[in-house]
Amino acid sequence: MSEHTITVAGVAVDTRHWIGGERVASAQTFPDVSPIDGSTIGGISRGTAMEAAAAVAAAKAAFPAWAATSRAERARILHAIADGVEKRIEELAIVETTDNGALLRSHRRGVMPRVAHNFRFFADWLLKLEHEDFETRGHTNHVSWDPAGPSVLITPWNAPLMLATWKVAPALAAGNTVILKPAEWTPLTASLLADIATEAGLPAGVLNVVQGYGSEIGDALTSHPDVRRISFTGSVPTAKRIAESAAANLTPLSLELGGKSPLLVFADADLDLAVDLAVEQYDNAGQVCLAATRFLVEESVAEEFTRRFVEKAGQLTQGDPRGEATDIGPNIHPLQLEKIDGFVQRAVAAGARAVIGGHRKDGQYYAPTLLTAVAQDSEIVQEEVFGPVLTLQTFATEDEAVRLANDTRFGLAATLATGDPERAERVTAQLVAGTVWTNCFFVRDLQAPFGGSRHSGVGREGGTWSFDFYCDLKNTVTSPNGWNNHG
């Protein structure tokens, strides 16, 4: 076993970068720490501008051949990658749980199968991607999707491999080459993905994985003149820096950013369903960008809703995410835990009441929290916490509910519970959000557009929208005249 290989729950993981089909070590490393118990998993190669340049050069060199590869062959390789993921679901699940603290049972049953599905979906979508030709004054218009070039994909720590492959799969399907930069808090499964892709026959340089801190390697990637696409999921401040970095080269961006999504509960809703939806917002210890963290409940049912919510939330089990019965695991990092607690303590000092929770627990665990008596313009209502912290406000009218729901700088998602289909239609038409769920939550289909409004993002991905982003769309107009007569 190499000195650069660590063993995570019996799984060997290479800690070096993957550049141009080879493992590349950096002069320095950074520690990867498990949120489960705070233990150091290992030292990860710490990339710099030098590794960034090497990865972009490898992607640029590999691009012409990969772009010229037939759709059928690209799709075949993506399906082979999916096969490799499915063979290693158990290994990927335990490594990712160790690295980011999310539930092992969720990784086994949902997240890692979804990783494989990401590759299969975009492989299949590629094969049916087309636009019907159309006529203009006797001329034929033909729309095509041309590969754009090397693509930098910067991914978050809350669902590392699933969200990475949500970008990697369509970028590769489109014929682009990729430089994947995983979050420094959760780099391990990206390294395993490089192994799986290579075993599946992906040519050298088509997928590159570089690790490190944003300030040391991320900036060098996003400002590189040979990069033709940048896709980022993360915070608004980081997105602004990336946009500034990309501006000099006019590099197209896709940004999926934060959220402060509402859950609107009307008096005519199935209250048990509404409570189930509300408690679901503690999923992944509240570290979900789409989470409906602001409960907006009609006054006449607010007391009963709160009572039932407190009762159901009290049944959740918080602890080691490797346990089958665990519902809520740890938060990702001491810095994130400090941020979460700071939000809560400032809110309480300003007059908020913690109906449940409101405090840290041992290690990197934060008690599931519900705050009431919060003002609409308060920090806790307006800013993303990204932890198991929810707020509850009441409304008297439908118009007030919509006003409160839309009164933040975000617009990623919204959820509403109502028994009236006409009300649902009226309200959803007025909500500012990229995704709206009615009487459900987190139902996602890859053929649907995904993204946010306002400060929640720029652009949409999913289905054809992903290919629209990762490709240069071309319209070829052909005259019926001028052809040589070849008999």
Active site residues: 256, 289
> Given the structure tokens 């007059």, which residue do they identify?
351
On whether the CB atoms of residues 140 and 484 are closer than 8 A, the answer is no
Give the whole-angstrom CA distance, residue 387 versus residue 83.
Answer: 34
The beta strands (E) that lie in 97-200 are given as: 134-136, 139-147, 151-154, 178-181
β-sheet bridge partners, residue 231: 153, 254
- H runs (alpha helix) in 129-235: 160-173, 188-199, 219-222
On whether the CB atoms of residues 115 and 92 are closer than 8 A, the answer is yes
Structure-token pair, residue 55: 């990865």
For 152, the 3-state DSSP assignment is strand
Which distant-in-sequence residues (6+ apart) come within 8 Å of 344 by Cβ? 354, 357, 358, 359, 369, 371, 380, 385, 389
On whether the CB atoms of residues 191 and 18 are closer than 8 A, the answer is yes
Give the whole-angstrom CA distance, residue 239 versus residue 296.
Answer: 29
Name the DSSP letter for residue 45: E
For 416, the 3-state DSSP assignment is strand
